[in-house]
Structure 1
Amino acid sequence: MSEFSPGQRWISDGEAELGLGTVLNCDFRTVTVLFAASEETRTYSVRQAPLTRVAFGSGDRIQSAEGWQMLVDDSKEERGLIVYIGEDDQGQLRELPEAQLADTMQFDQARDRLLTGQVDRNDWFNLRFRTLHHHNRIEQNPALGLAGPKVDLIDHQLYIADEITGRHAPRVLLADEVGLGKTIEAGLILHRLLLTGRAERALILVPDSLTHQWLVELLRRFALKVTLLDEHQSQAHSDGNPFETGQLVLASQQWLFNNPHRQAQAEACDWDMLIVDEAHHLDWTPDEQGPGYSCVERLSTAIDGVLLLTATPEQMGLESHFARLRLLDPDRYQDLERFKAEEAGYVQVAEAIDALDALPAATAAESAAARARIDAVIDDADSQALLDTLAEPESDDAQREAARRQLTEQLLDRHGTGRVMFRNSRRHVGGFPSRELHVSELALPSAYRRVLRRIERDEDYLDELLIETGLDHPDVLIYPDAMYRALGEDPLNAEPWWQFDPRVTWLLEQLTEVGDDKMLVIAHDRDTALELAEGLRVLGGVHAPVFHEGLTLVERDRAAAAFADDEDGCQVLVCSEIGSEGRNFQFCRHLVMFDLPQHPDQLEQRIGRLDRIGQQHAIQLHVPVFEQSPGARLLRWYREGMDAFSAPHGVGSELFDAFGDELAEALLDEESLEELITETRALFDTKLKEREAGRNRLLEHNACRPARAAKVIEAIRELDDDKALPRYLEQALDIFGVDSQDLGGNIMHLQPSPQMLDGLPGLVKGEDGFSATLSRAQALARDDVQHLSWEHPLVREMMARQLDGNMGNTALALLKHPAIPGGRLMTELVFRTHCPAPKKLHVNRFLPATAVRVLLDEAGSNLSSKVSFGGLAKNLTKVKKAVARDLIKDRHDQLRELLTQGEQEAERELPSIVEAAQTRMRETLDGELSRLKALSRHNPAVREDELKALADTRAALDSAIEGTRLRLDAVRVIVTIDTD
Structure 2
Amino acid sequence: MSDFSPGQRWISDGEAELGLGTVLNCDARSVTILFGASQETRTYSSRQAPLTRVAFGSGDRVVSADGWRITVADTNERGGLITYFGEDAHGTRRELPEAKLADTMQFDQARDRLLTGQVDRNDWFDLRFRTLHHYQRIEQHSALGLSGPRIDLIPHQLYIADEVSRRHAPRVLLADEVGLGKTIEAGLILHRLLLTGRIERALILAPDSLTHQWLVELLRRFSLEVSLLDENQSQAHGGRNPFESAQLVLASQDWLFANPQRFEQAENSQFDLLIVDEAHHLAWAEDAPGTGYQCVERLSREIPGMLLLTATPEQMGLESHFARLRLLDPERYHDLARFKEEERHYGEVAAAIDALEQLPGDEQAEASVARVIDDHDSQALLATLANPEASSTQQEAARSQLSEALLDRHGTGRVMFRNSRRHVGGFPERRFHLAPLALPSAYRRVVRKLERDEDYLDELLIETGMDHPDVLIYLDAMYRALSDDPLNAEPWWHIDPRINWLLERLSDDGEGGFADEKVLVIAHQRETAEGIAEGLRVLGGYHAPVFHEGLSLLERDRAAAAFADDEDGCQVLVCSEIGSEGRNFQFCRHLVMFDLPQHPDQLEQRIGRLDRIGQKHAIEIHAPTFEGSPGERLLRWYHEGMDAFSAPHGVGSDLFDAFGDALADALLDDESLDELVAETREMFTAKLAEQDAGRNRLLELNACRPARAETVIAAIGELDADPALPRYVERALDIFGVDSQELGGGITHLQPSPHMLDGLPGLVKGEEGFSATFDRARALARDDVQRLSWEHPLIREMMGRILDGTMGNTALALLRHPAIGGGRLMAELVFRTHCPAPKSLHLNRFLPPTAIRVLLDESGATLTDKISFTGLSKNLQKVNKSLARDLIKSRHDQLRQLLIQGESEAERELPSIVEAAETRMRTTLDGELARLKALAEHNPAVRDTELDALRQERLALSEAIEGTRLRLDSVRVIITVDSEER
Q: Please show how residues 70-469 of structure 1 align to structure 2 within 5 Å.
A: 80-82=67-69, 96=89, 109-361=109-361, 367-469=362-464
- Match for residue 900 of structure 1? 900
- Match for residue 948 of structure 1? 948
Confirm whether residue 473 of structure 1 aligns to residue 468 of structure 2: yes
- Match for residue 723 of structure 1? 723
Kept after mapping to 2: 8 A contact 1:203/1:250: yes
Deviation at 1:86, TM superposition (A): 8.0
Instruction: Give the secondary-structure state (helix, strand or coil) at the position aligned to 1:459.
Output: coil
Q: Which has the larger radius of gyration?
A: 2
Deviation at 1:98, TM superposition (A): 11
CA distance in structure 1 between the partners assigned to 2:604 and 2:623 by the alignment? 14
The 1:491/1:895 distance shift into structure 2, 3 A limit, reads closer
The 1:147/1:98 distance shift into structure 2, 3 A limit, reads farther
- Match for residue 703 of structure 1? 703
Runs of 5+ consecutive residues of structure 2 not aligned to the other structure: 1-36, 40-53, 75-85, 93-105
Q: What is the CA deviation profile of residues 921-959 of structure 1, one whole-angstrom value per residue up to 9, with x for unaligned ones?
A: 111111111111111111111111111111111111111
- Match for residue 618 of structure 1? 618
Instruction: Give the secondary-structure state (helix, strand or coil) at the position aligned to 1:748.
Output: strand
Deviation at 1:107, TM superposition (A): 9.5
- Match for residue 681 of structure 1? 681
Deviation at 1:460, TM superposition (A): 2.3
Q: Please show how residues 544-559 of structure 1 align to structure 2 within 5 Å.
A: 544-559=544-559
- Match for residue 498 of structure 1? 493
CA distance in structure 2 between the partners assigned to 1:352 and 1:77 by the alignment? 75
TM-score, with structure 1 as normaliser: 0.90
CA distance in structure 1 between the partners assigned to 2:883 and 2:108 by the alignment? 24
Kept after mapping to 1: 8 A contact 2:593/2:621: yes
Deviation at 1:94, TM superposition (A): 7.8
Deviation at 1:652, TM superposition (A): 1.1
AA in 1 matched with 2:635? L
Instruction: Give the secondary-structure state (helix, strand or coil) at the position aligned to 2:771.
Output: strand
- Match for residue 483 of structure 2? 488
CA distance in structure 2 between the partners assigned to 1:76 and 1:384 by the alignment? 69
AA in 2 matched with 1:592? V
Q: What is the CA deviation profile of residues 71-123 of structure 1, one whole-angstrom value per residue up to 9, with x for unaligned ones?
A: x7x87869633365889xxxxx9852599xxxxxx998000000000001111
- Match for residue 535 of structure 2? 535
The 1:593/1:98 distance shift into structure 2, 3 A limit, reads farther
Deviation at 1:506, TM superposition (A): 0.9
CA distance in structure 2 between the partners assigned to 1:80 and 1:440 by the alignment? 87
CA distance in structure 2 between the partners assigned to 1:281 and 1:609 by the alignment? 18
Kept after mapping to 2: 8 A contact 1:83/1:98: no
Instruction: Give the secondary-structure state (helix, strand or coil) at the position aligned to 1:631.
Output: helix
Deviation at 1:786, TM superposition (A): 0.8
Instruction: Give the secondary-structure state (helix, strand or coil) at the position aligned to 2:172.
Output: strand
Kept after mapping to 2: 8 A contact 1:466/1:473: yes
Deviation at 1:689, TM superposition (A): 2.0
AA in 2 matched with 1:392? N
Q: What is the CA deviation profile of residues 606-665 of structure 1, one whole-angstrom value per residue up to 9, with x for unaligned ones?
A: 000000011011110000001111111111000111111111111111211221111111
Q: What is the CA deviation profile of residues 720-771 of structure 1, one whole-angstrom value per residue up to 9, with x for unaligned ones?
A: 1111111111110011011111111111111111111011001111111111
Kept after mapping to 1: 8 A contact 2:58/2:71: no
Deviation at 1:248, TM superposition (A): 0.3
The 1:77/1:971 distance shift into structure 2, 3 A limit, reads closer
Instruction: Give the secondary-structure state (helix, strand or coil) at the position aligned to 2:455.
Output: helix
Deviation at 1:835, TM superposition (A): 1.1
CA distance in structure 1 between the partners assigned to 2:719 and 2:530 by the alignment? 49
CA distance in structure 2 between the partners assigned to 1:706 and 1:874 by the alignment? 46
CA distance in structure 1 between the partners assigned to 2:881 and 2:64 by the alignment? 34
The 1:95/1:753 distance shift into structure 2, 3 A limit, reads closer
Kept after mapping to 2: 8 A contact 1:84/1:98: no
CA distance in structure 2 between the partners assigned to 1:299 and 1:802 by the alignment? 39
- Match for residue 6 of structure 2? none
The 1:735/1:94 distance shift into structure 2, 3 A limit, reads closer
Deviation at 1:429, TM superposition (A): 0.5
AA in 2 matched with 1:267? E
Kept after mapping to 2: 8 A contact 1:82/1:98: no
CA distance in structure 1 between the partners assigned to 2:164 and 2:107 by the alignment? 38
Q: What is the CA deviation profile of residues 356-386 of structure 1, one whole-angstrom value per residue up to 9, with x for unaligned ones?
A: 111112xxxxx33222211111111111111
Deviation at 1:285, TM superposition (A): 1.5
Deviation at 1:458, TM superposition (A): 2.3
AA in 1 matched with 2:89? L
Kept after mapping to 1: 8 A contact 2:437/2:627: yes
Deviation at 1:864, TM superposition (A): 1.1
Instruction: Give the secondary-structure state (helix, strand or coil) at the position aligned to 1:331.
Output: coil
Kept after mapping to 2: 8 A contact 1:115/1:888: yes
Q: Please show how residues 740-889 of structure 1 align to structure 2 within 5 Å.
A: 740-889=740-889
Deviation at 1:906, TM superposition (A): 1.1
Q: Please show how residues 562-577 of structure 1 align to structure 2 within 5 Å.
A: 562-577=562-577
Deviation at 1:333, TM superposition (A): 1.0
The 1:491/1:905 distance shift into structure 2, 3 A limit, reads closer
Kept after mapping to 1: 8 A contact 2:218/2:224: yes
AA in 2 matched with 1:501? D
Q: For structure 1, which segment, 690-699 or 385-394, has the greater mean C-alpha deviation from structure 2 after superposition? A: 690-699
Q: For structure 1, which segment, 880-889 or 514-523, has the greater mean C-alpha deviation from structure 2 after superposition? A: 514-523
Instruction: Give the secondary-structure state (helix, strand or coil) at the position aligned to 1:203.
Output: strand
Q: What is the CA deviation profile of residues 5-46 of structure 1, one whole-angstrom value per residue up to 9, with x for unaligned ones?
A: xxxxxxxxxxxxxxxxxxxxxxxxxxxxxxxxxxxxxxxxx9
CA distance in structure 2 between the partners assigned to 1:147 and 1:78 by the alignment? 49
CA distance in structure 2 between the partners assigned to 1:210 and 1:776 by the alignment? 26
Kept after mapping to 2: 8 A contact 1:176/1:182: yes
The 1:628/1:735 distance shift into structure 2, 3 A limit, reads same
Kept after mapping to 2: 8 A contact 1:176/1:423: yes
CA distance in structure 2 between the partners assigned to 1:301 and 1:614 by the alignment? 38
Kept after mapping to 2: 8 A contact 1:85/1:96: no
Kept after mapping to 1: 8 A contact 2:58/2:73: no
AA in 1 matched with 2:489? A
CA distance in structure 1 between the partners assigned to 2:703 and 2:63 by the alignment? 65
CA distance in structure 1 between the partners assigned to 2:940 and 2:122 by the alignment? 59
CA distance in structure 2 between the partners assigned to 1:737 and 1:529 by the alignment? 53
CA distance in structure 1 between the partners assigned to 2:267 and 2:219 by the alignment? 25
Kept after mapping to 2: 8 A contact 1:315/1:651: no
Q: What's the RMSD between the two structures over aligned residues?
A: 2.0
Instruction: Give the secondary-structure state (helix, strand or coil) at the position aligned to 2:837.
Output: coil
Confirm whether residue 916 of structure 1 aligns to residue 916 of structure 2: yes
Q: What is the CA deviation profile of residues 465-518 of structure 1, one whole-angstrom value per residue up to 9, with x for unaligned ones?
A: 222222211111111111111222269983212222211111112222233221
Deviation at 1:569, TM superposition (A): 1.2
Q: For structure 1, which segment, 666-675 or 447-456, has the greater mean C-alpha deviation from structure 2 after superposition? A: 447-456
Kept after mapping to 1: 8 A contact 2:57/2:72: no
Kept after mapping to 2: 8 A contact 1:84/1:97: no
AA in 2 matched with 1:550? G
Matched residues, percent identical?
Answer: 75
CA distance in structure 1 between the partners assigned to 2:865 and 2:67 by the alignment? 46
The 1:957/1:56 distance shift into structure 2, 3 A limit, reads farther
